[in-house]
Amino acid sequence: MLFLWLYMFYSCAGSCAGLAARGSPAPPRAAPPGEPGEESSPEEQRAAPDAASPISSFFNGSGTKRLPQAIIIGVKKGGTRALLEFLRVHPDVRAVGAEPHFFDRNYERGLAWYRDLMPRTLEGQITMEKTPSYFVTKEAPARISSMSKGTKLIVVVRDPVTRAISDYTQTLSKKPDIPTFESLTFKNRTTGLIDTSWSAIQIGIYAKHLENWLLYFPIGQILFVSGERLISDPAGELGRVQDFLGLKRIITDKHFYFNKTKGFPCLKKAEGSSKPHCLGKTKGRTHPDIDQEVVQRLRDFYRPFNMKFYQMTGQDFGWD
């Protein structure tokens, strides 16, 4: 019986592969990140998704590579990695692990290259990616809209003052000799003029960035996730995200436990694993002590932008 099954499998694999080869052209090869790729014509960029051979489908899983229907576009140090890892528990979500940076750094490589980075999905599954720098990239909204006006966008936001300190903490871990947070915050500390050219400050002016996105997408097509609630009530925020994506609410309280050492929730079981999973050691770093006068100056600076952001989104994130 086993011999008969193997004979039928390999016979089918060979004939089906031959039919596939005769019936459709091979998809264009996308250059890996970091390598120069050949220029793609518009026709190649709109080419049909890659077709897997029967043998590779059997061993690697069937499915089709598709452009993402949903993208986590921001913000840096807001909780985007946590959200992506939590979402990947859902059986109907397939996501790229690394950040593609297609719409800000690799756009010239073309949509065929971008699609080739995506995981294979079955009918009914959602393809996703996350690149937090998209939210502050001026060209990103038009580029994503050009790919698909129906793309669902998710923005994870966090108290902009805490976010700025977290951003600085990450940089400090890589470059211990950088100036102090206080000195980088001000153009002139005597006058209290905030240096909005510093990216750690500039990213947190959420209302300004959102205005650019609303030129291309309706507000109802963008979901704003609270980075604070993602820590205090992960299941509640994931419920909103699943509803927004049109998914069944499968990720619930039973999937999480709170890690007191790290100070944030972890998964009881990660995607494709039976073991508990917490985000890596680069997450949950201890923030340096910042002069409280500087913190207050920043809160005063961000307050009007926060109020405008609340009005634009219809959500009060409670940062003041």
The response to whether 189 counts as a known ligand-binding position is no
Q: How far is Cα 182 from Cα 194, in angstroms, rounded to an integer?
A: 10
The pair of three-digit structure tokens given for residue 220, joined into one six-digit string: 């109802």
The response to whether 24 counts as a known ligand-binding position is no
The response to whether 280 counts as a known ligand-binding position is no
Distance between first and last Cα of the chain: 71
**How is the chain split among helix, strand and coil, in percent rounded to 5?**
45, 15, 45
The response to whether 286 counts as a known ligand-binding position is yes
The response to whether 158 counts as a known ligand-binding position is yes
Helix (H) or strand (E) holding 16: helix 2-23
Burial call 192-229: b when 16+ CB within 10 Å, e when fewer: eebeeebebbbbbbbbebbebbeebbeeeebbbbbbbe
Task: For residue 121, give the DSSP letter.
Answer: E
Is the Cα dihedral 198, 202, 203, 209 positive or negative? negative
The response to whether 249 counts as a known ligand-binding position is no
* Helix 160-174 with 292-313: angle, nearest 10 deg: 120
The pair of three-digit structure tokens given for residue 292, joined into one six-digit string: 């409280």
What are residue 141's phi and psi, to 5 degrees?
-60, -45
The response to whether 232 counts as a known ligand-binding position is no
Listing DSSP states for 143-201 in one string gives: HHHHH-TT-EEEEEE--HHHHHHHHHHHHHHH-TTSPPHHHHHEEETTTTEE-TTSHHH
Q: Yes or no: say if 75 and 163 are a contact pair by the CB < 8 Å rule.
A: yes
77 is catalytic: yes
Q: Which of the residues 65, 76, 77, 130 is marked catalytic? A: 77
The response to whether 80 counts as a known ligand-binding position is yes
Annotated binding site: 77-81, 158, 166, 283-287
> Active-site residues: which are they?
77
Annotated binding site for 3'-phosphoadenylyl sulfate: 77-81, 158, 166, 283-287
